[in-house]
Amino acid sequence: MKKTISTLAVTAIISSSVLTPFSMYTPNVAATEAIAPTNLVDNPNLISSDITINPNNDKQLFSWNSWYGYSKLKIEGNYAISSIDGRKSKIYDDHRIALDFKAGQNDTLGQTISTEIGKEYTFGLKFKVPKYMDRTIKLKAGKNSMVAFQESGVGEAVDILRYVTFTATESETRVYIEITGPATTQHDMFFYDISAAKSAKQVAADKKVVSDKAEASVKALFNNNDVKGTIKDATNQKAIDDAKKLVDAVTDPTKKAEL
């Protein structure tokens, strides 16, 4: 009888975590549709939109910086603005960038993000550019790159989503938005929903690791790892609490119910 009561107690304690609202474990994440699968876990947008001017360098921000440097950098409302050599840049504090280049001018904007070595990430954005723009836009992340818009492109280039996937080889990775081409005419362009986060594939892999660990911790409470059997004599409150914490970390409701 004692073992039966213990088994019921453990089952109740572990199962109680299944009843916890799933939304409690799912933070709001600002990321593009291509990057953000449903129910992300610890997968924030790694892109900084900090428009603070570096106190040690008044031509740099703590987020996006120009390959050519900024000039007369100042803060106006919710964006930092700079004009230099016919290039006008507005870096907003909500993952938006507005650029206006006169003929003959291009630019590359970049920043460094924190990454985990061996993990797969996706760097992406949406953008609006003029029809038939004579510039090429590339997204670069680490050693990977992709052409987001080709010079002399045909069609209305509006609300386009583009992203590049890369595997981190260092704890920090540089990401870039590169604008190149003949640039014979003046053009403005607008980037928004800029995001970098673990890819859907990586999130799924990370969630499986968490699920597997939780499953093993629950089975370890029982003799022969049989959750329908009896509890081990060595099972104590700490072991139960530790198992519950691991189950709480599982965000897949189907998998959680199985534990």
Q: What is the pLDDT of residues 175-220, one digit of tens each?
A: 999 999 887 888 889 999 999 999 999 999 998 888 888 888 888 8
Q: Are residues 90 and 192 in contact, defined by beta-carbon separation less than 8 angstroms?
A: no
Q: Is 33 inside a domain boundary?
A: no
The tens digit of pLDDT for each residue in 146-162 reads 999 887 655 566 678 89
Instruction: Give pLDDT < 70 ranges for the chain.
Output: 1-41, 152-158, 251-259
Residues 6+ apart with CB under 8 A from 215: 258, 259
Tell whether 125 and 249 lie within a shared domain: no
Q: Phi-psi bin for 101: left (phi > 0), alpha (psi -120 to 50), beta?
A: beta
Instruction: Report how many domains make up the chain.
Output: 2
137 lies in some domain: yes
CA distance 21 to 37: 19
Q: In what order do the strands lie in the sheet with 79-84?
A: 74-76, 79-84, 87-92, 97-101, 187-198, 120-128, 160-167
Residue 80 lies in a domain: yes
Query: Would residue 245 count as lying in a domain?
Result: yes
User: What's at 117, amino acid-wise?
Assistant: I
pLDDT the model gives residue 38: 37
> Whose structure tokens read 């910086």?
65
Q: Tell me the residue range of the domain where 133 lies.
A: 65-198
Helix (H) / strand (E) containing 136:
strand 136-141
What pLDDT does 17 receive?
Answer: 43
- pLDDT, residue 240, reads 84
Within 8 A by CB and 6+ apart from 12, the residues are: none
What is the pTM for the complete model shown?
A: 0.76
Rounded Cα distance, 242 and 246, in Å: 7
Domain identity same for 116 and 236: no
